[in-house]
Each structure stands twice: as structure tokens, then as C-alpha cells.
Structure 1
Amino acid sequence: MKRQVVIGFLGTQLDAGDGPGRWDKWRPTVALGMHEDFLVHRVDLLADERRYGKLLRTVQKDLAQVSPETELRVHDTYIEDPWDFETVYEVLLGFARAYPFDLEHEDYFVQITTGTHVAQICLFLMAESRRMPARLLQLAPPRKQGSGESAGSLSVIDLDLSRYDRLAQRFEREQAEDRSHLKSGIATRNAAFNRMIEQIETVGSRSVAPILLMGPTGAGKSQLARRLFELKKARHELSGRFVEVNCATLRGDGAMSALFGHVRGAYTGAVGDRPGLLRSAHKGLLFLDEIGELGADEQAMLLRALEDKRFLPVGGDKEVESDFQLIAGTNRDLARRVAEGRFRDDLFARLNIWTFDLPGLVDRHEDIEPNIDFELERQADNVQRRVTFNREARERYLRFATSPEATWRGNFRDLGASMTRMVTLAPAGRITVETVDEEVGRLRRLWRQEAPDDPLVALLGERLQDVDLFDQAQLREVVRVCRRCRSLSEAGRLLFAASRERKASSNDADRLRKYLARFELEWTQLGRDGQ
């Protein structure tokens, strides 16, 4: 068995006692040697020998009497003010660093019954941080003083919470609930996304550094920022507000005023003071969406506010303070904008401590179905009636939604809008195949309108939806080549150069004409670049 060692303070009040009557009093340090089921091999006692030498000798003698096998070592310790936290902690930290812990042969216990409350707190922190690799030892007096039973009770507290099954399960459950909250309660299945949410939850609970959320429009950056604020608010980590601003809407002279406020008379129309969004977020969370759109002056002011928690309002000569946590969102490649000179490298470095790239819906096919169920529940709350798919309609919608044809350019905004339309139009509370077919056609038209640079949209129109994606990819390249060439023959020679070398092609222009005819296209419809 390992030797058991107890570290603690001499109790200048609790351990005191003179004459034979002292044995009728419960004295915690002496009581350490009175527990038959807890053998103490050594007591390391911190005490001021100059001031409490007599008491130390009495305690040492009495402990030897009740437990001859227990060694008592005195560590002469002077603390100028035992109620000053900084002083006590510094003394204990020095003691812990110099102490020769022998974990292979000894088990350590920190006795937190004696000493000032400040000393007890500092001992707790030492054990909790493992600067003292020990368990806590709490002693208590007997129920009746002078009853002849002077040992009292003894409890061991292990701060390794993983040893407490119910606590560990509760923490795991609460952590799972927090992560579910970040996902709006949606049972997402994408493994990479779930791992990212776990990291965001961990970072959110341990760090106050800025967080950068990257990803396409509609990927859920704003929703995630608000959910993270709600978590931190519930944990009492933030006491202020959630303030959100889309930086793309900040333009011209009004941008500085909106963010940093202004004083009366700062410019024409400034009839009163304005606090600005940064001050409104004091002790709270500021979410700057589309931060890549900020102007150069605003970027410089924001950097100063992040580093110093201070800034000048527009037109002001006195700095103001605001201590907020920042979450920034962007669908831009900020590293590229830095290289182009359009975003400050020092601000990017400050934001790039915790960066998370939110994937678009097209990269999370596994999560489309649970998001559909979430939207159905949300719509039920909005319209006060429950709407469901019939089985065939659900399968058809899912098949389209997870196909390469579904580009989900607006990500979850597109999905939410799609579900809103189907729920509204659903006859008798059931989304039918006919409703799904109408919605699929609507989405196809929407995405074609949002992709005007695609030459096939202009050339084929509605017929594009009948062309396989494989053929679409090939046809786009053919059209691109044709538009660079002066004639059908030149385009044919370029497109069929390899087969002509093998003498497998006799008439390149005719082959190209027949290929275009498959899609009801003619050479004259394509047009050349620059024409």
C-alpha cells in the first residue's frame, strides 16, 4: 500500500487547547490520527513557528500520543495577511513547486478544514489544477462535544469528476444538449459538421477570443452565432446583448457612425449623441456578418477596439470603452482579400484564431432529411396546423433534393422557402406528388435564373432540365470551344483533333453539326466571343 500523506494548515483556533480539558475538545489536526479506517503516515503542516510555536509543540505531542506511527513535519510559513487572496495563493504555489511529490509511493490529501476561508479556497484551487496532485480531505467534529468521542468524521473528495458516474453522465448530457442547441435541435448526420459543432461548443465555453465563421450565404452563420450567444448567456458568461449587423449594408460616412457611434455635431444632421453598435454590445456578443465588406477605416477602428477595448466615436475627443466578444461571418476568401490588399492582414490575424468553415447544404446531403423534418415542425408552429408528406411525395422530394441537379444556391434559406411553399399549398394537410413536382420545377427555374452566366441556360431554356448532367458538362465545353472559333470547320478540327490523327474522323464539321443537332442547336445560335 502507498503511504498516506495529509497537507494542511495549523488551525490557530480549532487546534488550540491547554490542560487536560483539551482532550474534550475536537481538534482537527490531532483528530487525523484517531480514525482507525484512515491511517495517516505523515502530516505536512504549514504554520508560523515564531508566532505559534507553543501550539505546534502541543499538537505534535498529542498527535504522537494518539497515533505514534504518524510523522508530523512542520513547514515554517509566514503569511503577512492570511485574508489576502493573492498573498496566500502565491505562498501555496511556491510550496507546491518545491514539494517533493512522490506519486509512485505516496497518496496525498489536502486538509481543508483549518486555515482561513481564503486559504481553503486556495488549497481547493491547488488540488483542482493538479498543482497539488491530491484529493480533498474534509473533517467534521462529533455531534456532541465532550462526549468522549473526539475523532469526529472524515470525508475524502476526489476532484476528478470522471470518477463520479452520475456527475459525468450529467455533464455529458448537458454537453450534448448544448451542442444540440447550437444545431437548433436538428439531429444532423454529417460527421464533419457534427465534429465542427463539438469544437465550436468547446471553444465557446473556454475562450473569449474572436470566432470567424466562413461559408456560403445561407449556410447558417447568423443562426449559429445567435445560438452560441444564448449558450454563453445561460452559463452567465455574458451579461450583455446580442448585436448583429450585416457589414455589406454599411456604406459611406454612415458606416463609422453606425459601428462606433458619434457625438453631437460630428457632422451635418448629428443632432445628438449616438452610442453605436460596438457600445451596444458591451458585455455581450457582437456578430459582424459579411465582415469582408468593411471599409479600410472601419477595419482599422475595429482592430483597435478588439485589442484595447477602447475607441473614439466619430467627432469625439474622448475614448469610450466596450468589452464584447466578436463573432465574424463571411462568404469571402479573406486570405485572398488580404493578398489583394482589400483586407488588413493584422485584423485577419486577430480574427483567424478560431476559424470554422460551415459547409453548404449541397455538401451535407445526409442532413437534408432531418432539416426537412425540422422545417415541418417549424411550419406547424407558424401556421398552427400540422402538414406531412405522403410516402411517395417524400421519397420523390428527397431524391431530387439530394441529386446533383439540386444546387441549393441559397442553402438552408432555399430549403426553408421550399418547405414554406409546399406546406402552404398542401391540400388537406398532406404534401402530394403533384405538390412536389410543382416545387421541383419552381426550384429548377429559380436556380437557372440565378446562374445567368451558364451558356446552356440561354441556349436551352426549359429544355435544360431534360439533359443529363453528364451531357450538360460535355455540351458546356463544346459551346465554349465553338465560341472561340471562326467557323464550324475550325471548331470541329479542334474538338476532334485526336480522332483525326487516328484517321477515325473524315468530316469534323459534320460530326459537330450532328452533335449540336442532338440538342436542337445550330452553329448560328452559339455566337462567337466578342460578337
Structure 2
Amino acid sequence: MGKRQVVFGMLGIQLDAGTGPGRWQKWRATVALGMHDDFVPDRIELLVDARRFGTLTALVREDLALTAPETAVHVHDTYMADPWEFEGVYACLHDFLAGYAFQPDEEDYYIHITTGTHVSQICWFLLTESRHFPGRLLQTSPPRKQHVGDPGTYAVIDLDLSRYDHIAQRFAQQQLQDRDLLKGGIATRNPAFNRMIEQIETVATRSRAPMLLMGPTGAGKSQLARRVFDLKKLKHQLPGRFVEVNCATLRGDGAMSTLFGHTKGAYTGAVSDRAGLLRSADKGLLFLDEIGELGQDEQAMLLRALEEKRFLPVGSDREVESDFQLIAGTNRDLQQAVRAGRFREDLLARLNLWTYPLPGLAERREDIEPNLDFELERWSREQHERVRFNAEARSRYLAFATSPDATWRGNFRDLGASLMRLATLANAGRIQTDGVEEEIARLRAQWHGGTAVSPLDALLGEAAAELDRFDRVQLEDVVRVCARSASLSAAGRELFAVSRTQRASTNDADRLRKYLARFGLDWEQVRAVSRGGVAP
């Protein structure tokens, strides 16, 4: 003998209504539960406000006794002050289920979600999905054409998603696609950056609160803000525009007008009304880069616009409205700016709910290679011309780009400009080693104020790029000591000052000579370069 079938449901005030013989011409949801040939409940647990709907309840019980005499109907007097108030409905249903004596080994349970308010249907769903109700959802529908005795259709919905791996995989795949969008399609390798992107993806799809992106110039704040907008647009969360402004470019009276708009005649030169960027961003996303450069008056107006969605255009005595989401960017320490009195503490508190520090390129050296491929691919698409490194040139460029000697002061802007130069100057679509060497010299001169070649690179040439970082740092320190020492012995004494006390006999000059020889160097070469000469 199989398990007993038990259906829980709420009396349908409209769907179960009907009096007199004509009621049988109408499909009634609860009564129809007892009319299916292939699904006959052993018991129906009916939740109803019996004091208000006692007559209807009695009629439904009588009709169920006629259509399904073998089905027991238990009525539970359930009072809800407001059946459309979510918290109260959820608490009522939760408490009812908590006090019910379920016997899952002997009975199968179903929630009839066709009747009741939409609020109760949502609560039933949540309680079933969270396993507070140990069963499945039962959805019934009327027949397409009303016929006496036609029970309509029913469907059982199982919320155990583990049985639907393809659904779970689809959600996971969509999440990966969303994160890929935020990263611009670049397969980043930096773990900390990838964890940050995962959280931004979650926040971007669930919240409209302001975000604050912190990081040096060229770290990608503007690009990330636009990708957040693209993601929200894709999910139909922002019907408006993406509006961007660098606050460092806003000066004087024009700052207020640019942000908040003005009326005609508000000041000299205001020959017509101007909407301003905040109104242009209504229902969209406003990105204020370098927000730390805003003046105090603009900060106060912005704070009010964020909190009340209302503000006064310059020269107007009538407020306007704009409901926008804000992302702010800065390369300043705003906490320090608050202490110095240059930035409002209350505005920072409003911005500081979701704050993300974007690392510079020098802190993400493992991401240089995928960004190199991305930039070359983008250049090829824009110019309709395929450009590639040859193997030796690529190896040389990456060795330099990931070395401590590459400071990447302009971050991704420097990298993008560097690859654009290489691609533009490439012959027959191939970037050769000589072009890479020329570009490396240009970057060194750019970062070091005209000092194109470091002493170590002058000594070792291309071999410097093949050193492990540990060896390079150590060797650079040795070269610096040699540069300021009068002799090989003097340099050796300084370099081995601790370990020489632990030796019975010492020959510091010989130890230093052997160390330099490991890298194919000798004392005269090091001294020649340190004096500005050329290594022999």
C-alpha cells in the first residue's frame, strides 16, 4: 500500500465561491481537487478564517463529500489581520507548519498554491523551498472550456533543484558570464581582483546603493563603472543612460551648472536652460570620477540629491527630481581629505557602503599577459589588420613588463599605449624584437625621467630580464654598494660585515669577485657603469 496523499491549501474566497445548482457550472479550485481520476487526496488540510467564511467553508466541505467521499477534510481556523501583509502572512503560515505533526514516512504532502493571495503563494513557496514544509507544490488550472464535472488540470512542482542540474548549471554559467562582462572579457589571473569582481557582480545585481571605486589613475575605474552599467542594463535594472564626468575638470560657477543644471539668465552667459548631468542620469547611472576634487558646495548639493533624489538647479527656486545610481571614483585618500576638511564626512559615509580598491598594474603583474592579448585583439578589430608578436619578441616584452624595472606608473593606460605603438609600427603584422627593445627604452625613459637604462641593464643587457626577482634585487644592491666603494675589498667588507665575523679567515674581495662572476661580471665592468661609462 502506498503513502497517503495529503494536500494543504487555503480556501479560495473567489475561486471557491458559488451557491445553488449553478455552482456546478463553474470550476472551483478546492472542490476540483477531489475530481481527478489519477490524483485523489486522502486528506485535505484547509486553512480558512472560519468566523468570516464559515458558510462558504461548509458548502465546500459538502461538495467535496459528494465528489470525493473518500477524502477527509480538516478545517483549520486561521486568522490573518491583513492577507496582503507579507510579514504577518509568513509568520502565520510558519507557525501553523511548525505545530503540525508531519509523518513523511507514511504520507506525501502537497501545498495547493492556486488559492489564496499572491502574498500567501509566495510564502508557501519560500516555506517549501526552505524545507519548513516537507513536500511539493501543487498547481491546478481550470479547463479551457467549462464543462460540468471537468476538473481541469494539475501539475506537481518539486523545488529540489538538485534534481535539475541543468538549471543550476545555467545559473552558474550566467554568473560567470556576468563576471566576465565586468572584467571586459579578460581572463584575469589575480586572485584578489577576481574575488573583488565576484562581490561587485553580486552587489551590482542586488543593490542600487552608491559604490566607491578607489585606485590610481589608469587602474580601470571608469571602465569598471561602465561595465557595471552594462550588466544592470542587461538585467533591465537601469532604463536610463550612463553619464560620466571627471570632477577634476569642474571649476568655479561652471561646476554647479554642469552637475545640477541652471535656468536661463542664472548668470552671465546662461542664455538657455540646462538640464545638468544629474538630471541626464535619471533612471540611469552617474559616474563621478575623482570625486575628491569636488568643492564643498557641490558636495553638499550632491549629498542632498543622493538622499532625497531632489535638488535645485542654479538660479531656480523650484526643485527638480532625478533618481540615479551613483558610482564615484577617486585616487585620493578620502579619509585623509575628511580630516583635512576638504571632503564632507557625511558624504563619505553615504558613499562608503560598497568601497572597492582597484590595484594598479604593478600589483597585478600576472594579469599583464592576458591584457596584452586583449589589447592586441582590440587593435586588430579596430584597424581591421591582424598583428602578432613573434615568439622571441613576446618573451622579451613580457620579461620586461613583469619585472620590477617596469613601474607602470600610468597602469593600464601605459600598457594600452605601449601596445598601440608596437602594433602601429609593426611590419607585415609582426612585432619583432628590435621594435620591442625600442619600446622598452621609451618606457624606461618615460618612467625614469629620461634615464633610459638602469645600471644593471647596462651591465647585463637582455640577460637582465632572465634573472629571478630574488637574484635581481640582490644583485642591484651589490652593484649599488660597488658604485660607492673605493675598492673591491671595501665593497666586500660592507657586503659581508656580518658573516665575516663568523669565519676564521676572510677574503672579502675574493668572495665578491666570485659572486659577480656568477653573472658574468667583474669589478671593472661594475665600476665603469657606475661612473657613467660603458661596460667593456
TM tier relative to shorter chain: 0.7 to 0.9
Shift of 1:405: 1.3
Other-structure match for 2:364: 364
* Distance in 2 (alpha carbons) for counterparts of 1:40 and 1:184: 57
Stretches of structure 2 that go unaligned for 5 or more consecutive residues are: 465-471, 486-490, 508-522
* Distance in 1 (alpha carbons) for counterparts of 2:479 and 2:87: 75
Contact 2:211 2:327 in 1 (8 A): yes
Other-structure match for 1:9: 11
State whether structure 2 residue 84 is matched by structure 1 residue 75.
Answer: no
Letter in structure 2 aligned against 1:60: R
- 1:99 is paired with a residue of what secondary structure? helix
Other-structure match for 2:44: 42
Q: How does 1:113-128 map to 2 (within 5 A)?
A: 113-115=114-116, 119=117, 121-128=118-125
Other-structure match for 1:95: 92
State whether structure 2 residue 44 is matched by structure 1 residue 61.
Answer: no
Shift of 1:25: 6.2
Other-structure match for 2:428: 428
TM-aligned CA distance change 1:307 to 1:390, over 3 Å: same
Q: Which moved more, 1:71-80 or 1:416-425?
A: 71-80
Shift of 1:388: 1.1
Contact 2:445 2:452 in 1 (8 A): no
Contact 1:11 1:29 in 2 (8 A): no
Letter in structure 2 aligned against 1:350: R
Deviations 1:469-490, CA, capped at 9 Å, x for gaps: 54555777999x99xxxxxxxx
- 2:448 is paired with a residue of what secondary structure? helix
* Distance in 1 (alpha carbons) for counterparts of 2:289 and 2:331: 9
Q: How does 1:387-426 map to 2 (within 5 A)?
A: 387-426=387-426
- 2:447 is paired with a residue of what secondary structure? helix
CA RMSD of aligned residues (A): 3.9
Aligned pairs, how many?
492
* Distance in 1 (alpha carbons) for counterparts of 2:253 and 2:397: 48
* Distance in 1 (alpha carbons) for counterparts of 2:315 and 2:58: 72
TM-aligned CA distance change 1:318 to 1:420, over 3 Å: same
Other-structure match for 1:153: 153
- 1:359 is paired with a residue of what secondary structure? coil
* Distance in 2 (alpha carbons) for counterparts of 1:447 and 1:401: 13
- 2:262 is paired with a residue of what secondary structure? coil
Shift of 1:90: 7.0
Match of 2:527 among 518, 523, 531: 518
Letter in structure 2 aligned against 1:391: A
Letter in structure 1 aligned against 2:228: L
Which TM-score applies when normalising by structure 1?
0.79
Deviations 1:423-452, CA, capped at 9 Å, x for gaps: 111111111112211111111111112xx8
* Distance in 2 (alpha carbons) for counterparts of 1:427 and 1:95: 76
TM-aligned CA distance change 1:305 to 1:13, over 3 Å: closer
Q: Which moved more, 1:384-393 or 1:158-167?
A: 158-167
Contact 2:15 2:28 in 1 (8 A): no
TM-aligned CA distance change 1:94 to 1:497, over 3 Å: closer
Letter in structure 2 aligned against 1:338: V
* Distance in 2 (alpha carbons) for counterparts of 1:2 and 1:334: 66
Letter in structure 2 aligned against 1:434: D
- 2:33 is paired with a residue of what secondary structure? helix
- 1:302 is paired with a residue of what secondary structure? helix
* Distance in 2 (alpha carbons) for counterparts of 1:245 and 1:144: 60
Letter in structure 2 aligned against 1:447: W
Contact 2:16 2:60 in 1 (8 A): no
Letter in structure 2 aligned against 1:55: L
Other-structure match for 1:206: 206
Other-structure match for 1:336: 336
Shift of 1:520: 5.2
Deviations 1:274-325, CA, capped at 9 Å, x for gaps: 2211111111100011111112222122111111111222232222211110
Other-structure match for 1:489: none
State whether structure 2 residue 192 is matched by structure 1 residue 192.
Answer: yes
Contact 2:210 2:326 in 1 (8 A): yes
* Distance in 1 (alpha carbons) for counterparts of 2:323 and 2:454: 56
Contact 1:33 1:70 in 2 (8 A): no
State whether structure 2 residue 236 is matched by structure 1 residue 236.
Answer: yes
Q: How does 1:343-362 map to 2 (within 5 A)?
A: 343-362=343-362
Other-structure match for 2:112: 111
TM-aligned CA distance change 1:397 to 1:211, over 3 Å: same
Q: Which moved more, 1:201-210 or 1:164-173?
A: 164-173
Shift of 1:49: 4.8
TM-aligned CA distance change 1:130 to 1:100, over 3 Å: closer
Letter in structure 2 aligned against 1:222: S
Other-structure match for 1:527: none
Calculate percent identity across the aligned residue pairs: 55
TM-aligned CA distance change 1:286 to 1:24, over 3 Å: closer
Shift of 1:333: 1.7
- 1:427 is paired with a residue of what secondary structure? coil
Shift of 1:53: 3.6
Shift of 1:55: 3.3
* Distance in 1 (alpha carbons) for counterparts of 2:91 and 2:4: 25
TM-aligned CA distance change 1:152 to 1:389, over 3 Å: same
- 2:186 is paired with a residue of what secondary structure? coil
* Distance in 2 (alpha carbons) for counterparts of 1:522 and 1:379: 43
Other-structure match for 2:31: 30
Contact 1:124 1:136 in 2 (8 A): no
Contact 2:113 2:124 in 1 (8 A): no
Deviations 1:352-396, CA, capped at 9 Å, x for gaps: 100111111112222211111111110111211111111121111
* Distance in 2 (alpha carbons) for counterparts of 1:245 and 1:381: 28
Shift of 1:244: 0.4
Deviations 1:58-96, CA, capped at 9 Å, x for gaps: 32133345154533214365889xxxxx84657634633
* Distance in 1 (alpha carbons) for counterparts of 2:280 and 2:359: 31
Shift of 1:193: 1.3
Which TM-score applies when normalising by structure 2?
0.79
Other-structure match for 1:508: none
Shift of 1:342: 2.2
Q: How does 1:280-291 map to 2 (within 5 A)?
A: 280-291=280-291
TM-aligned CA distance change 1:232 to 1:160, over 3 Å: farther
TM-aligned CA distance change 1:243 to 1:464, over 3 Å: farther
TM-aligned CA distance change 1:329 to 1:264, over 3 Å: same
Letter in structure 2 aligned against 1:357: P
